Structure 1
Amino acid sequence: MLPMPSAPAHVVNVPVNQIREITQAAWATPDSIVLSIGEPAFPVARHVLEAAMAALDRDDTDYTPNAGIAPVRAAFAEHFSRRSGVEDDPSRVFVVAGAQQGLHLALSTLIGAGDEVLLPDPGYPTFTMTVGLLGGVPVPYPLVPHHGFQPRIEDLRRLVSARTRVLMLNSPSNPLGSVFGSDLTRDLVRFAHENDLWIISDECYEAFTYDVPHISPARFDAGGPEAVPEATEARVITSLTLSKTYGLTGLRIGALVTPPGMEPLLNNVMEATVSCVSAPSQYAGLAALTGPQDYVHTALEHYRANRDAATAVLDALGIGYLDARGAFYLWADLSYATGGDVRAWTRAFLADRGVALAPGTAFGAMGEGWVRIALCGRTDELIEGLSRLPAPQRT
């Protein structure tokens, strides 16, 4: 038997996704409480399911244009314009197989071997994984507790180099639940233009903020209503998804909202990756975007209530956390218990107490000692799971 061909270093060195690691261990553990993964707990709205089934019933299963069906692109454009305040043309919307494929598509058009991408640390792990798979160099910028886990322009200035091509932004943040304000967002867009960088703005959780607005960086880009003077041409690519907003995680549908001029490149790269998103998923997405929005309103209030219930448990135990202003996660400080290895601690906590939490190191080195708690499941399980956490020793 011939030996297995060796994989290239940029593939071998892609880090393990520790979220999946602990979640799969939890799924294999009977009666475990899984607070480690962001899977919405509500059933998908019936009108969305019926739209997908209707597409199957009429055998609408052929190829679609690379960028998606025209009505779906128009619906995404209208949705983005309404939420961001940025007028957008459907011709610049690309329907993608979920935000992850959109991230891969965007980076595939922007970076080559050895190019650097500035990524948040803590940040979603596939940011780093995707950059590495494309032969790029992930450069983490630190998000620290004493600055509310918000980006600092001085850190970005220290890290940018002649090889830097992209600044990755994520607000509302997964895993942090933090939300960028208007002034910070404007400063980040200005920094990108001053340094000739593209911005990929991951706005997967834009529908879920608590008492603060969601601010899209596109507002301050060229063509936006508050464009910074440095923005002589558009440089922001916005990533949207229906996975979280409407609970369509398995249908794999999202969109990239792109600057003018990128359409030919994206069409070619889309053809070389997935060709197009399945037609039934696109029709489900169209129904979600244009139909009743009860699901979104119900989910938002459930996540808010779960956030409040979770923080009440942590407060009673004396456990510190970052005040979640968006998304559906809570970022909690377990450094007093984890012994400097939160990844190992979460595995032991699952084995001993039957609760799965995502280790902070899944999101970067700055996450050591912290855990991410998913707030999107049942309230009773959330309260029970968190009540099993060890309290800090009182002095």
Structure 2
Amino acid sequence: MRISDRLTRIKPSATLAVNAKALELKAKGVQVVSLAVGEPDFPTPEHVREAAKTAIDQGFTRYTQVPGIPELRQAVCGYFARFYGVEAPMEATVVTNGGKQALYNLFQCLLNPGDEVLVPAPYWVSYPALVELAGGVPVFVASPAERGFKVTPEELDRAVTPKTRVLLLNSPSNPTGACYTRAETDAIMEWAIARNLFVVSDEIYDRLVYEPAQAVSVCDWWERHPENVAVVNGLAKTFAMTGWRVGYALAHPDLIKAMTKIQGQSTSNICSVAQKAALAALSGSYDAVEEMKKAFRRRRDLAHGVVSSWPGVVCPKPDGAFYLFADVRALFTPALPDSASLCTHIMEQANVALVPGAAFGDDACLRFSYAVSDDTLMIALDKVAKVLFG
């Protein structure tokens, strides 16, 4: 059997691999605590679950339109109007199998072989693979912990070449939780538009931003420059709907048609029942979301208070998402010289799963997810501290 050449450069998802290892150990009876997976530990809100049950009972189990049922696409438009005051037509939206498929479809539509994509680092583990699967070349623009893991237009400008086609933004960030301010976002967007770059903005964590920070979207830039901007979002993090696989994109109607063509020849429409659940989520109450956000903010403060106090560790306080990204290079030794070996050591000695920063483009760091209960979080961090400091 011969596997295609395009897959030789693609690595499996590191976060899913770590979580799989934790589940494997649990199956053997080992009590493992996972701070690796980016998944809310809350149930999907009741009104969303009830909408899915009703859809099943009513027999809503057939194929739908490839880009989503019209009422759900209208609800996506309503989301941008509700939170950002941006009016969009239904034709500028598509509903996808999670935000990941929206990104995949976008890069397949936007990139030709050899086109370069600027990817601020640290970055979500799947970004490089999604670019490479479309024949593109990811170009990483590093920003260390000391600068809050945020890039500037000047740093981006130094990475631009005649082959640069796309800038990929992610705020709030996975893995760092960093959030660009309105002024920082506008400065980057002005820079990108002036160079006729296409901006893909992954805003999957935009409802999980902690005051006094504020959620910032580039959808207003899409409104002014629809041929240069696409916004990707989804329901996984906001509504604790990771397994439902509902994402969506806002883009120029012509680009949406191209994305729909790809989707029609690959997955077709997303699950019909999940679409009805998503409709209830986007058009209903956000009270459950606000309760989750309160819990995540409390956990952030608890976890950051612990990790930032560790000797030699640099850990910026995140404004969003549910991760800490800690620079632990001061703890490396000849026996444990990098983030992967340190994570393996912690797993073996403390039975706590973390993700090495190398998976996110920064080998100096470890990612801690605080999407677990307060008690579980504090117990896990105590175990890690004992391994690191005795």
For each residue in 1:318-368, what CA deviation from the matched residue of structure 2 results, as whole angstroms up to 9, or x when unmatched? 44311110111111122122343111210111011111111111101xx11
Match of 1:14 in 2: 10
Does structure 1 conserve the Cα–Cα contact (< 8 Å) formed by 2:192 and 2:198?
A: yes
Q: Would you say 1:63 and 2:63 are equivalent positions?
A: yes
Does structure 2 conserve the Cα–Cα contact (< 8 Å) formed by 1:99 and 1:254?
A: yes
Match of 1:325 in 2: 319
Q: Would you say 1:273 and 2:274 are equivalent positions?
A: no
Name the SS for the 2:348 alignment partner.
helix
Q: Which of residues 367, 376, 379 in structure 2 aligns to 1:381?
A: 376
Match of 1:227 in 2: none
CA distance in 2, matches of 1:347, 1:28: 14
CA distance in 2, matches of 1:147, 1:316: 19
Match of 2:117 in 1: 117
Q: Which of residues 337, 341, 346 in structure 2 aligns to 1:344?
A: 341
Q: Superposed, which structure 2 residues align to 1:199-348 within 5 Å?
A: 199-211=199-211, 212-221=213-222, 223-224=223-224, 231=225, 234-318=227-311, 319-339=313-333, 340-348=337-345
For each residue in 1:278-327, what CA deviation from the matched residue of structure 2 results, as whole angstroms up to 9, or x when unmatched? 11000000111112222201110010010011122224434431111011
Name the SS for the 2:243 alignment partner.
coil
Shift of 1:6: 3.6
Q: Would you say 1:360 and 2:321 are equivalent positions?
A: no
Runs of 4+ aligned residues of structure 1 deviating over 3 Å after TM superposition are 315-319, 390-393
Does structure 2 conserve the Cα–Cα contact (< 8 Å) formed by 1:22 and 1:346?
A: no
CA distance in 2, matches of 1:159, 1:314: 33
Name the SS for the 2:150 alignment partner.
coil
Q: Superposed, which structure 2 residues align to 1:44-83 within 5 Å?
A: 44-83=44-83
CA distance in 1, matches of 2:187, 2:252: 19
Shift of 1:133: 1.4
For each residue in 1:164-186, what CA deviation from the matched residue of structure 2 results, as whole angstroms up to 9, or x when unmatched? 11100000001011100112111
Does structure 2 conserve the Cα–Cα contact (< 8 Å) formed by 1:198 and 1:235?
A: yes
CA distance in 1, matches of 2:111, 2:62: 32
Name the SS for the 1:51 alignment partner.
helix
Letter in 2 for 1:216: S
Cα RMSD after superposing both structures: 1.7
Letter in 2 for 1:162: P
Match of 1:164 in 2: 164
Does structure 1 conserve the Cα–Cα contact (< 8 Å) formed by 2:145 and 2:315?
A: no
Does structure 2 conserve the Cα–Cα contact (< 8 Å) formed by 1:51 and 1:287?
A: yes
For each residue in 1:118-170, what CA deviation from the matched residue of structure 2 results, as whole angstroms up to 9, or x when unmatched? 11211001110111112211111112223221112122112111211110000
For each residue in 1:71-117, what CA deviation from the matched residue of structure 2 results, as whole angstroms up to 9, or x when unmatched? 11111111122222322222211011100011101111100211111
Letter in 1 for 2:192: A
Letter in 2 for 1:208: L
Letter in 2 for 1:20: L
CA distance in 1, matches of 2:120, 2:308: 28
Match of 2:139 in 1: 139
Task: State the identity as a percent.
Answer: 31
Q: Superposed, which structure 2 residues align to 1:32-43 within 5 Å?
A: 32-43=32-43
Q: Would you say 1:5 and 2:2 are equivalent positions?
A: yes
Shift of 1:264: 2.6
Shift of 1:271: 0.8
Does structure 2 conserve the Cα–Cα contact (< 8 Å) formed by 1:33 and 1:356?
A: yes
Does structure 1 conserve the Cα–Cα contact (< 8 Å) formed by 2:324 and 2:369?
A: yes
For structure 2, list consecutive stretches of 5 or more residues without a partner in the other structure. none
